[in-house]
Structure 1
C-alpha cells in the first residue's frame, strides 16, 4: 500500500513554508523589511530559535537577506529574471520598446480577463482603492504620483489574476520600466490632455473589472496599451523632427545672406 508514516513537522519548516508562500504569491515584495524578530515570533507563535532557523534556511535559498543593523529583507528575487547583458540590449534598441508594449498588451489583457472572472471581492476593492488614489493624484500639477500609481494599478490587476508566474514576470518587467530601460514613463504624463485621456482609459478598465465583465476588461486594457504605443511613436517622431528643425535653425543662423 502506498502509505507512509506521518512525520511531525518542525516549527521552523512550517515558518519557512509560510514565508515562501507569501513571497510566491507576491504578498511579501522584493526589498520589503520583515518585522523584528520579537514581533515576527509573536505573530507566528513560535520560539525565536525556530524563527532564526527558518530565516537562515530562507537566506540560504536566496529568498531573504540580512543587513547588519537594518534587519531582514525579502531578497531582490526579480533581479535575476533578465541577465544584465540582455537588459543593456533592451535599453540600446528602440524596437524593444514596442515589443515590450506588445508583450504587456497580451499579458495584461489576459490578466484583466482573469481578474474579472477569478479575482475575489477583496481583489477588486484593492484595484478600486488604487484607482481612487489615481483620481486624487490627477488633481496635482506634478504628475509623479499619478505615474507611480499607474504602475500600481496595472500590477494590482495582475495580482488579482492569481497566476504567480505571470505576477513575478510582470513585476520584473515593471521594474525595468521603473529604471527607464524601455522608456521614460513621465513622457506619458507631461501634457494635461494626455493625462486626462489616460485617466479615462483607466476608469474604463476599472469599471469593467468592478462589473466583472471579463471581455470588456480585456478590451479596455488592450485599447489603453494601443494608445500608449501610438503616443510613444508620435513622441519619437516629434523628437526626430525637432532634431532636424534644430539643424536647420543652426544652419540658418550661420548662413550668410
Structure 2
C-alpha cells in the first residue's frame, strides 16, 4: 500500500502513518466518529511531512477507514466489510482452485461459529435461521436462487454466534462463498437424492442449534460438508462418464 503513496525514500514515513492509525484503533485510543489530530500536529507527532501525511490519510479514506471533511478534519469511520470483502476477493481470486481453498476456511469458521451459536443465539436469531431454511426449501431446484439461499442460511448461523471476529472473516470471503454455493448447486442439481439430502441435512443442523447442543451441531455440520462433497464428486464423475469419446 505504501508504494502507492511515495517514492522509496518515503516508505518508512507512510508506514508510520498506517501504524499509528492501526495501533490507535487496536488500543482504543481512537474510536469510530472521533476526529484525528490536526494535520500540522499529527505530522509533527509522527515525524512525517505534511504532503506525505495528506496522501496517507487520503488512502485510508479511500479504503473507507476515514471521513475527510473539508475545513473540519479527518474522522474515524466504522469499517465497511464490503471493502475487506473486495480485498479478499481480488487477492484470492487469482489463485488456482480458490473455491476449494475457501471451502476449507469456511468449514473452520462455521464449525466454531455453530458451537458458539448454540450458547448465544437468541430467539430472534433462531427465527432468522429458520426463515432462511424455509427459503432454502423453496428454491431447491434453482441453482442460482437456491445457492444464494444456502449461503444465507449458513451466514445466519455465523451471525448467531455474535462473534464479531468470525462474522467479519466470514463476510470478507462472502462473495467467494456465495459463488461456491451456486457452482456446487449447478453441479449437483440433477444428482439423485440431492433434494431430500439438502432438506434433511439443513433441517438437522438447524434443530441442533435449537436444542443448543454444540457437539451434535458441530458433528451435523461436518457431516453436511462431507456428504455434500460426496454428492459433488459423484456428479462430476457422472458428467465425465456421459461425455462422448473423441
> 2:16 matched to 1:16?
no
Aligned-residue RMSD, C-alpha: 3.2
Match of 2:132 among 130, 133, 139: 130
Structure 2 unaligned segments of length 5 or more: list them.
1-29, 35-59, 68-79
Cα 1:231–1:136 change in 2 (3 A) is: closer
Cα 1:152–1:113 change in 2 (3 A) is: same
With a CA cutoff of 8 Å and minimum separation of 6, indicate the structure with the bigger relative contact order.
1
Q: CA deviation at 1:60?
A: 5.5
SS in 2 for 1:178: helix
Q: TM-score, normalised by structure 1?
A: 0.59
Q: Which residue in the other structure is 1:212 paired with?
A: 212
> Number of matched residues?
180
Q: Which residue in the other structure is 1:80 paired with?
A: 87
The answer on whether the counterparts of 1:113 and 1:214 sit within 8 Å (CA) in structure 2 is yes
Q: TM-score, normalised by structure 2?
A: 0.61
Q: Which moved more, 1:225-234 or 1:173-182?
A: 173-182
The answer on whether the counterparts of 1:176 and 1:182 sit within 8 Å (CA) in structure 2 is no
The answer on whether the counterparts of 1:101 and 1:225 sit within 8 Å (CA) in structure 2 is no
Cα 1:137–1:192 change in 2 (3 A) is: farther
Cα 1:234–1:64 change in 2 (3 A) is: farther
SS in 2 for 1:162: coil
Runs of 4+ deviating beyond 6 Å: none
Q: CA deviation at 1:200?
A: 0.6
Cα 1:181–1:82 change in 2 (3 A) is: farther
Cα 1:158–1:230 change in 2 (3 A) is: same
